[in-house]
Amino acid sequence: MNRRTLIRTLSGGTAGIALAGCLTQDDDENGNGNGNDTGNGEENGTDGENDTGNGEENETDGDDETTEPNLEGTLRIATYTSMVDGEEAAGTWLKDAFEEEYPDAEIDWTVPESGVNHYIQQANQGVDIDADLFFGLNVDDLVLVDGRADESLFRSVDRDALEHVDRIRDDPAVEFDDPDDRVLPYDTGYISLVYDENEVDDPETFDALTEEEYEGTLITQNAQQSDPGQAFLLWTIDAYGEDGYLDYWEELLDNDVRIIDDWSSAYSAYENEERPMVVSYSTDQVYTNRFDGDMSRSQIGFLEEQGYANPEGMAVFEDSEQVDLANAFVDFVLSNEAQAEIAVRNVQFPAVADEHVDLDESYAEYAHEPPEAVSLTYDQLSGNLDGWLDDWGQLVASR
């Protein structure tokens, strides 16, 4: 263990004090030159000299457009676990490739346990946001941010600063519909059914799921805490409308649907043949192929010839002092090479149009795209999501 990690281990990132407790003084932003030091006090201890350099630069940031963009220093990117800890994690490739292209820059991945909620709470409590960019934002996250954060958390996209921004395909599957244009997608995925063709046929429609043939066959996830579970719920709201989805779920429940906590447990139940159908991702066969699984148990069912799209996006924090570097990273993510890597490593679909990404032919063999992508827009979710989840949860739990 080198000194740097030792200090971190002892004090959880607080420089130089071998105690857990620490007192820090909030920086009042009218700082002069070195005022930034306390602002990212946590970082200074670990990163040494780099910080002071860009502290000076940031003084003029955004005021003068002719200034050369500052592309050195540390970029703190918040994301979710599998981005850095998964097998063949996209995060490791992104870091290495980006740092190679920008030798003065360093990416510092951080994985807050509660995702974007972490930053909403920091903002509301008046604590300095300890990240520059959020990588892995869904539409519903954005709705939550806007519903709960006291002030704006993310800044609008500076499209002029992004070379590749126009490559993003024109498709509801990658659309955030953000009125403030804060998020850019980097990939997308589709929620679909995964079923065992030895046991059941593709139900093809939502209505079929309520029929006797499919009684006791479906596993889905708790929409209150699971992404695919929530996507499936939203899909039914898209299909039956705000006024009709609860009736549909009544029927689903009557037909003995199982609603298991999270995707892992649900898939575990499916793997152990508890039931022949599970709500999952349309890329399931990629994994089945990778793990030598049985393809007949990895059939993809697109209900109503649709899949519910769950685009993943990135946004720069309002208070970031590394906006130039963050924009450079965003642009890098949308590059041809990065799009291909992310798609393969994340097993998702690229956010850019086909001509801007070179994907292996074989990728399409196992990663299926639905004929039609559906998703609820920011406007549809905004102000409604909490109520929908609540009503749905109460309906299920009171049975």
- Could you say whether residue 359 binds another protein (CB under 8 A)? no
Minimum Å distance from CB 122 to another protein?
6
DSSP-derived secondary structure for 293-322: --GGG-EEE-GGGEEEE--EEEEEBTT-S-
State which of residues 148, 238, 246, 251 lies at the interface with another protein (CB under 8 A).
148
Dist. CA 297–CA 353, nearest whole Å? 31
86 counts as binding another protein under rule CB under 8 A: yes
Q: Least distance to another protein from the beta carbon of 393, Å?
A: 6
- Among the listed residues 50, 121, 336, 380, the single contact to another protein using CB under 8 A: 121
Tell me, residue by residue from 52 to 81, as one string, x for binding to another protein by CB under 8 A and - for no binding: -----------------------------x
Q: Is 117 in the site for another protein (CB under 8 A)?
A: yes
Instruction: Give the DSSP H or E segment for 329.
Output: helix 323-333
- Residue 373, SS3 per DSSP: strand
Judged by CB under 8 A, the residue of 29, 201, 261, 337 near another protein is 261
Cα angle, residue 168 at apex, residues 283 and 62 outer, rounded to 5°: 130
Q: From CA 251, how far away is CA 268, in angstroms rounded?
A: 25
Site for another protein in 165-194 (CB under 8 A): none
279-308 residues near another protein, rule: CB under 8 A: 281, 284, 287-288, 291-294
The answer to whether the beta carbons of residues 222 and 397 sit under 8 Å apart is no
Q: Among residues 171 and 274, whose Cβ is nearest to another protein? A: 274
Query: Which of 161, 269, 353, 359 is in the footprint of another protein by CB under 8 A?
Result: 269
Residue 292 or residue 361: which is nearer to another protein going by CB?
292
Buried-exposed string 340-355: b where 16+ CB fall within 10 A, e elsewhere = bbbbbbbbbbbbbeee
> Which is closer to another protein, CB of 70 or CB of 322?
322
Q: How far is the CB of 207 from another protein (least distance, A)?
A: 22
Q: Taking CB under 8 A as the rule, which mask of x and - marks residues 234-253 in contact with another protein?
A: -------------------x
Give the nearer residue to another protein in terms of CB position, either 70 or 138. 138
Q: Does 82 bind another protein (CB under 8 A)?
A: yes
Q: Which residues contact 295 (CB under 8 A, 6 or more apart)?
A: 285, 288, 289
Q: Give the range of 103-111, 150-158, 179-187, 321-329 binding another protein by CB under 8 A.
A: 103-111
> What Å distances lie between residue 354 and 2, 98, 336, 349, CA to CA?
45, 22, 10, 10
Contact criterion met (CB below 8 Å) for 148 and 124: yes
When binding is defined by CB under 8 A, the residue of 59, 85, 150, 242 that contacts another protein is 85
Q: At closest approach, how far in Å is the CB of 52 from another protein?
A: 22
How many residues contact another protein, by CB under 8 A? 81
Q: Which residues pair with 109 in a beta bridge?
A: 77
Site for another protein in 199-228 (CB under 8 A): 216, 222, 224-225
Show the CA angle centred on residue 120, arms to residues 40 and 125, nearest 5°: 65
Spatial distance between the Cα atoms of 267 and 220, rounded to a whole number of angstroms: 9
What is the Cα–Cα distance from 216 to 88, expressed in whole angstroms?
Answer: 36
Q: Which structure tokens are listed for 75?
A: 């970029």
Binding mask 9-38 for another protein (x = CB under 8 A): xxxxxx----xxxxxxxx-x----------
Distance of closest approach, residue 193 Cβ to another protein, in angstroms: 16
Is 3 among the residues that bind another protein (CB under 8 A)?
A: no
**CA separation for the pair 284, 271 (Å, rounded):** 12
When asked if residue 393 is in the footprint of another protein (CB under 8 A), the reply is yes
